[in-house]
Structure 1
Amino acid sequence: MYQALLNGRQKLAVIGLGYVGLPIALEFARRLPVIGFDIDPQRIHLMQQGIDPSKEIDPEALLECNIQFTCSQADLKAASFYIVAVPTPVDECNLPDLRLLKKAAATIGHCIKKGDYVVFESTVYPGCTEEVCLPIIEQISGLRCGTDFSLGYSPERINPGDKRHTLANITKVVSANNAEAMEVIAQVYALVVKAGVHKVSSIKVAEAAKIIENTQRDLNIALMNELSMIFDRMGIDTYEVLEAAGTKWNFVKFSPGLVGGHCIGVDPYYLTYKASKLGYNSKVILAGRDTNDNMAAYLVRKLIQHIIRNVKEVKSARVLVMGATFKENIADIRNSKVADVVKELKDFSLQVDVLDPYASTDAVQQEYGFGLASAAEGLYDAVVISVAHEQYNVLDDAYFAAITNTNALVADVKGMYRGKIKSRSYWSF
């Protein structure tokens, strides 16, 4: 398989061309013939024109490589090595939503043939690849894993907006259904991952490794968020405390904030779901999730308290929210907790404008039911800087004074303007 891919006799396919799948497909397409598959015809059309719908990749990277973009399942049959990188969100009850994953497995089931390889990269709970995806492939194809085709799992480590930690320079964890498949899968990934591969003993181990990476980060941020609420009651600056503690060599540096996105705010629920199925009810992980999921409400409560004290007609109060994406310097709005902030503010009948230099107003409207303003307009009674976009670094006290009333509050979630806001009330996590 490895040599056949190298000399172009076989093709590699990536199913799901979002923030994870597209960078993987393009990296391989610099070395191999690749089929990039996505169920969204509009996304495929844009990529065929050299446009990344996620606004992460330059046009040249899409056009100057050996890749066929398609939404036709028939085209996938030309591949022999399949990589699945579809989203795995949670539903409204925070339970795993595996619909796209199951659909991808079914698609492979219709295309796979003897001798082929299938590697899943989508984040799932330990056991999901073999317990959920594999039976679908086998049932539809009539083939058997280990006899007719090989199965692997290699967790994605794509970090949207991060130009330093890319696919090529992050160690790739790989696993497979047997030792022979492991060697082939490791060889294929080693073609594009300069940092090398790390082999583990089972698919479940690889799945577990991925899910605890983000669970650990979630818990550390939850601790910072809880500390920020405690320190707020004490009247001391959380960020100053963290800077002081950070002078010790073994202090792990995290900061408080709104925790959204497709990973940190989602993955822990996959782990706790599987744990509950095995009769264990998580305490620490869910406590962290509860803390982080309630930070939007905590932020709104601080805003409302200030507005009640300083605005005669509360319902006439105007709030500007700066930042709609789930993190800085990207267009990704998935699971953005800023949407929770906006919703809660509007529930108090406040007038809310939202700005973001990266997000698409159409995407925000479709996903959350509100659009983006083109610019700050008039005077606001509160400004929330919810995302630390680089464009906001140049703003100063004079800017905020110009767009706010005298008694306005500048609520700085990430502490960007500590020590810089003098003419207005200032507060941060």
Structure 2
Amino acid sequence: MYEQLVNKKSKLAVIGLGYVGLPVALAFAKKLKVVAFDINSQRIEMLKKQIDPSGELAAEEFCNTDVVFTDNPDLLKDAQCFIITVPTPVDEHAIPDLSHIFLASETVGKALKKGDYVIFESTVYPGCTEEDCVPVLERVSNLNYIEDFSVGYSPERINPGDKEHTLARNTKVVAGCNEEATEAIARIYKLIVKVGVHKVSSIKVAEAAKVIENTQRDLNIALMNELSIIFDRMGINTYEVLEAAGTKWNFLKFSPGLVGGHCIGVDPYYLTYKAKELGYDAKVILSGRSINDNMGMYVATKLVQQLVKSGKNIAHTRVLIMGATFKENVKDVRNSKVVDIIKELGNFNIAIEVVDPYASPGEFQQAYGLSLTQGPGKDYDAVVVAVCHKPYLELDEEYFKSIMKDNAILVDIKGLYRNRISHIKYITL
């Protein structure tokens, strides 16, 4: 299979062209013939014009690539290796939503032939690939797992907005259904990952590695958020405490903040879901999730309390929220925890305006039914800097004074302006 691919006698297919699938497809397309498939026809048309809908990749990334972008599943029949990179979110009850990966498995199953390989990159719970997805492939293809086709798992490590830890510079964990499959999959990924691959003994181990990478980060941030709540009651600045503690060589440098996005705020629920299926209640992980999921409400409540203390009439206050995406310097608004602040302030009938230099107003409206304002106005009773976008880094106290009323409040969630604000009521985590 490897020789067929590198000699361009067969093709590699990538299913799902979001923030994970597109860079994978383009990286392989510099070495192999690639069929890049997505069910979103509008996305396909943009990609054909060398436009990344996620805003992560520049047009030059599409150059010198042997790739066909398509929403036609019939073109997948030319492929011998399939990489599935579709979203695996959770629903409103924090239950894993596997509908996308099942649909992708059905699509691949219709194109699957004897000797083909299927590699999953989407985040799942340990066991999902072989216990849930492989049966779909078998049913649709009428082929037998291992006997007729091979399956592997290689967790994605794409970090939106991060230009340092790119696909080529990030060690790729790989696992196959047997030793032969693992070796073949490792050879394939070595074509595009400069720092190499890390082979593990089973698909379950690879799945588990993926899901704990972000669970670990989630728990560490949850600890910082809980500390910030405690220190606030003590009148201590959390960031000053962290700076002091950080002078010790083995202190882990995490900071408090909103935890949204597709990884940290989602992946732990895949592990706790599977644990519950096995009769175990993951207390520590769920406690961390509870803290992080409630930070938006905490910030909003804290602001309302300060507005009341400042003598503001809550029903007549105006608040500006700066930043709406799930993290800094990206345009993606999915699973943004800034929305929790907006909704909680809305419960107090506060007039809210939201600005963001990267987010699409249409996507924000579609996702949450909320509007983005084109730019900041004047006379705000409070400003909340919720996301540390690059354009916000150089703003100073004079700027905020120019858009705020007297006796107004600046909420700086990530401590971006710490030690730079002297004459405005200043709040941070």
TM-score bracket, shorter-length normalisation: over 0.9
Q: Partners in 2 of 1:71 and 1:315 — Cα distance?
A: 50
Q: Partners in 1 of 2:98 and 2:290 — Cα distance?
A: 23
Instruction: Name the structure 1 match of 2:2.
Output: 2
Q: Is the 8 A contact 2:378 2:402 kept in 1?
A: no
Q: Partners in 1 of 2:357 and 2:93 — Cα distance?
A: 31
Give 1:62 shift: 2.0
Q: Partners in 1 of 2:374 and 2:41 — Cα distance?
A: 29
Instruction: Name the structure 2 match of 1:218.
Output: 218
Letter in 1 for 2:270: Y
Instruction: Name the structure 1 match of 2:249.
Output: 249
Q: Partners in 1 of 2:422 and 2:75 — Cα distance?
A: 61
Q: Is the 8 A contact 1:311 1:317 kept in 2?
A: no
Give 1:407 shift: 1.0
Instruction: Name the structure 1 match of 2:160.
Output: 160
Q: Partners in 2 of 1:333 and 1:312 — Cα distance?
A: 31
- Deviation string, structure 1 residues 205-244 (Cα, Å, up to 9, x no partner): 0000000000000000000000000111111110011011
- Deviation string, structure 1 residues 101-131 (Cα, Å, up to 9, x no partner): 1000000111110110000000000000011
Could you list the runs of 5+ residues in structure 2 that have no partner in the other structure?
none
- Deviation string, structure 1 residues 150-201 (Cα, Å, up to 9, x no partner): 1000000000000000111111000011111111100000010011111101
Q: Partners in 2 of 1:64 and 1:345 — Cα distance?
A: 49
Q: Is the 8 A contact 1:385 1:413 kept in 2?
A: yes
Q: Partners in 2 of 1:303 and 1:263 — Cα distance?
A: 28
Q: How does 1:22-171 map to 2 (within 5 A)?
A: 22-171=22-171
Letter in 1 for 2:202: S
Instruction: Name the structure 1 match of 2:346.
Output: 346
Give 1:65 shift: 1.1
TM-score by length of 1: 0.99
Whether 2:280 is the aligned partner of 1:280: answer yes
Letter in 2 for 1:403: I
Give 1:16 shift: 0.4
Instruction: Name the structure 2 match of 1:293.
Output: 293
Give 1:63 shift: 4.0
Q: Is the 8 A contact 1:330 1:358 kept in 2?
A: yes
Give 1:308 shift: 1.6
Letter in 2 for 1:126: P
Q: How does 1:178-189 map to 2 (within 5 A)?
A: 178-189=178-189
Give 1:377 shift: 1.0
SS in 2 for 1:273: helix
Q: Is the 8 A contact 1:325 1:359 kept in 2?
A: yes
Whether 2:269 is the aligned partner of 1:266: answer no
Q: Partners in 1 of 2:245 and 2:150 — Cα distance?
A: 49
Q: Partners in 1 of 2:353 and 2:107 — Cα distance?
A: 42
Q: Is the 8 A contact 1:382 1:410 kept in 2?
A: yes
Q: Partners in 2 of 1:305 and 1:182 — Cα distance?
A: 57
Instruction: Name the structure 2 match of 1:375.
Output: 375
Letter in 2 for 1:44: I
Letter in 2 for 1:175: A
Instruction: Name the structure 2 match of 1:386.
Output: 386
SS in 2 for 1:394: coil
Instruction: Name the structure 1 match of 2:321.
Output: 321
TM-score by length of 2: 0.99
Give 1:406 shift: 1.1
Q: Partners in 2 of 1:366 and 1:310 — Cα distance?
A: 35
Letter in 1 for 2:414: K
Give 1:29 shift: 0.6
Q: Partners in 1 of 2:199 and 2:180 — Cα distance?
A: 12
Q: Partners in 2 of 1:421 and 1:320 — Cα distance?
A: 18
- Deviation string, structure 1 residues 123-150 (Cα, Å, up to 9, x no partner): 0000000111000000110001111111
Give 1:307 shift: 1.5
Instruction: Name the structure 1 match of 2:416.
Output: 416
- Deviation string, structure 1 residues 308-351 (Cα, Å, up to 9, x no partner): 22244311100000000111111111100001111111111111
Task: Detail structure 1 runs of 4+ shifted over 2 Å in the superposition.
Answer: 309-313
Instruction: Name the structure 1 match of 2:399.
Output: 399
- Deviation string, structure 1 residues 349-400 (Cα, Å, up to 9, x no partner): 1110111111101000000111211111121111111111111011000000
Q: Is the 8 A contact 2:301 2:344 kept in 1?
A: no
How many residue pairs get matched?
Answer: 429
Q: Partners in 2 of 1:62 and 1:212 — Cα distance?
A: 33
Q: Partners in 2 of 1:48 and 1:258 — Cα distance?
A: 35
